[in-house]
């Protein structure tokens, strides 16, 4: 069992991330922790794991456990990446179950190999970190985004691992398919009212049911709030008409009618009391619920010829330095194709679309936008979002940029922060906005949804699905592949194979 009691968390800048949170994780529970980037999900997980977070926040309340708790970080620390696997595992671990774990985790590489961990793929690193987290046989496992950097094959393996585990598990993930298939309970951490109010919800149901019930709640709440507001406005309008009539009557009455003046004075007093009663109703009205993941931006219509040849590529070899990654690559793309390239990690997918980007950038008849996995390839982190998106000349364009950022739920303060201070999900949204403002004919996207919360994901996919230009992408996001792409190709050593 793992229990939090009245946990309240503040950042060192004074923002409240959590307020009086109490929760119990029991044996065998599989709970997903969701929410927008920057809301404190990783911080909460670290506090539950007993990790010191005092350098960047303070908290009150307690965490209790009578179980052995283990923690899987988002990434292996940089200083550990130069170690080999056995050095990383350390000397104080229980090796009695090492071979059973190697089999359970389907580790298909030699753990006694002396090569550094940095030379392993993303999926292999997750398994190495899991090996360290599980080797002392914990009762509870806390996993911070284990699905990041996994290819499709590894994601399916991770699903089976979570579902079949006897441990109590809390996991953070952006992968909606993983959430739908594995979560038996949902912890949803939110920052509402322009990030001025923290809120956390626990629901002992699956992810899909939670999203459906939440959407229904938001729809009903906002319908009632709109109806209440409309009715209040009607009452105020009726009151104004009565007030104006009494006020006019008071102005017109003659001094020779003191009795009538007194009656009007009493009537005005009653009218003003009625106003106070109407205004008091405002306190009991429902507020319109504005989900923090709400996004109100879209690509403007494009005139792209569906038959226009975007790419007619043949590569005899795809290389990364001296290493040949693939051979005989052929790819033909037309005007409104939405292409996704899949394949195992390390096979050269990102290398291939960078090569495609170089070729398309040479075309004078195309405007090409690019979103890499590592955003610092195309973003200056010392700039603010407004500075990055605005050309510094047209003031009306600055106002448009600020309006769009507001539609993406950026606060005024965040618009003027350095990009380096923002979450990865916020950086992703800034880049998406740049693609929209630049009015590109072609988008080259490398894992475009990897840093988006699962609740933002559907909205971004809808925007990309409605985009009228061409998309050439790499993704392991099964929802993105299903909802956005009309062509799926797998990259292997022998080239590209069309799957869909």
Strand partners, 340: 473, 488
CB atoms closer than 10 angstroms to residue 279: 13
Contacts 24+ apart (CB under 8 A), 177-183: 177/478, 177/479, 178/147, 179/32, 179/34, 179/207, 179/454, 180/206, 180/207, 180/208, 182/30, 182/32, 183/30, 183/31, 183/32, 183/207
Distances in whole angstroms, Cα of residue 74 to Cα of each of 149, 153, 230, 346, 459: 10, 19, 48, 19, 25
For 388-440, the pLDDT digits (tens) are 999 877 788 888 899 999 888 888 888 988 999 888 888 999 999 999 999 99
User: Tokens in use for 406?
Assistant: 């507001």
Residue 450, pLDDT score: 87
Question: What stretches of 135-190 show up as alpha helix (H) in DSSP?
Answer: 152-164, 176-182
For 152-204, the pLDDT digits (tens) are 888 888 999 999 999 999 999 989 999 999 999 999 998 877 667 788 999 99
Tell which residue, 53, 68, 26, 69, has the closest CA to residue 202. 26
Residue 289, pLDDT score: 78
Residue 169, pLDDT score: 96
For 435-470, the pLDDT digits (tens) are 999 999 999 999 999 888 898 888 899 999 999 999
For 292-306, the pLDDT digits (tens) are 777 778 888 887 788
481, 340 contact by CB (below 8 A): yes
In this predicted structure, the answer to whether residue 263 has a pLDDT above a threshold of 90 is no
User: Tokens in use for 419?
Assistant: 């990009």
> If pLDDT is split at 50, 70 and 90, which confidence band does 98 have?
confident
Tell which residue, 53, 20, 59, has the closest CA to residue 144. 53
**Percentage of residues in the chain with pLDDT exceeding 70?**
99
Q: State how far the Cα of 420 lies from the Cα of 430, in Å rounded to an integer.
A: 12
For 9-60, the pLDDT digits (tens) are 988 777 888 899 999 998 899 999 999 877 889 999 999 999 998 888 899 9
Helix (H) or strand (E) holding 191: strand 185-192
Residue 332, pLDDT score: 95
Strands 470-474 and 338-342: parallel
Vertex 317, ends 316 and 323: CA angle to 5°?
165
Residue 243, pLDDT score: 86
> If pLDDT is split at 50, 70 and 90, which confidence band does 117 have?
very high
Q: Rounded to the nearest 10 degrees, what angle do helices 395-407 and 424-438 cross at?
A: 130
In this predicted structure, the answer to whether residue 8 has a pLDDT above a threshold of 80 is yes
Question: What stretches of 193-257 show up as alpha helix (H) in DSSP?
Answer: 207-252
Residue 180, pLDDT score: 95
């Amino acid at each position: 069992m793992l229990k939090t009691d009245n946990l309240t968390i503040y950042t060192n800048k004074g923002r409240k991330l959590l307020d009086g949170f109490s929760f119990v994780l029991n044996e065998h529970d599989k709970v997903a922790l969701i929410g927008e980037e920057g809301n404190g999900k990783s911080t909460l997980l670290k506090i539950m794991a007993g990790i010191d977070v005092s350098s960047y926040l303070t908290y009150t309340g307690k965490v209790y456990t009578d179980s052995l708790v283990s923690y899987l970080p988002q990434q292996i620390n940089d200083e550990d990446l130069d170690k080999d696997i056995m050095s990383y595992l350390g000397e104080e671990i229980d090796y009695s179950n090492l071979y059973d774990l190697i089999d359970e985790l389907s580790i298909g590489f030699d753990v006694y190999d002396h090569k550094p961990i940095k030379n392993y793929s993303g999926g292999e690193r997750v398994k190495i970190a899991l090996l360290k987290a599980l080797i002392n046989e914990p009762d509870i496992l806390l996993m911070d985004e284990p699905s990041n950097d996994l290819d499709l094959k590894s994601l399916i393996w991770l699903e089976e691992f979570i579902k079949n585990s006897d441990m109590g598990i809390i996991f953070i993930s952006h992968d909606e398919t993983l959430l739908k298939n594995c979560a038996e309970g949902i912890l949803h951490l939110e920052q509402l009212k322009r990030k001025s109010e923290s809120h956390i919800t626990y629901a002992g149901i699956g992810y899909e049911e939670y999203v459906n019930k939440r959407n229904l709640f938001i729809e009903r709440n906002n319908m009632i709030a709109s109806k209440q507001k409309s009715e209040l406005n009607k009452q105020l309008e009726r009151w104004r008409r009565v007030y104006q009539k009494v006020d006019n009557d008071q102005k017109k009455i003659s001094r020779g009618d003191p009795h009538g003046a007194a009656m009007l004075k009493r009537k005005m007093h009653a009218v003003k009391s009625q106003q106070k009663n109407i205004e008091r109703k405002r306190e009991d009205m429902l507020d319109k619920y504005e989900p923090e993941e709400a996004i109100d931006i879209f690509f403007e219509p494009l005139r792209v010829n569906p038959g226009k040849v975007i790419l007619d590529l043949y590569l005899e070899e795809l290389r990364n330095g001296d290493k040949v990654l693939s051979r005989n690559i052929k790819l033909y793309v037309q005007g409104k194709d939405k292409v996704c390239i899949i394949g195992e990690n390390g096979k050269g997918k990102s290398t291939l679309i960078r090569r495609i980007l170089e070729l398309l950038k040479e075309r004078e008849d195309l405007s090409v936008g690019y979103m890499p996995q590592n955003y610092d390839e195309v973003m200056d982190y010392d700039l603010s979002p407004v500075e990055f998106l605005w050309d510094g000349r047209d003031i009306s364009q600055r106002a448009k940029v600020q309006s769009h950022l507001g539609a993406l739920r950026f606060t005024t303060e965040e618009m003027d922060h350095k990009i380096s201070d923002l979450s990865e999900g916020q950086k992703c949204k800034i880049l998406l906005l740049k693609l929209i403002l630049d009015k590109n004919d072609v988008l080259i996207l490398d894992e475009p949804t990897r840093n988006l919360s699962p609740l933002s994901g559907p909205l971004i996919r809808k925007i990309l699905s409605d985009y009228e230009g061409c998309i050439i992408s790499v993704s392991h996001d099964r929802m993105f592949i299903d909802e956005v792409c009309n062509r799926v190709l797998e990259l292997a050593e022998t080239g590209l194979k069309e799957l869909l």
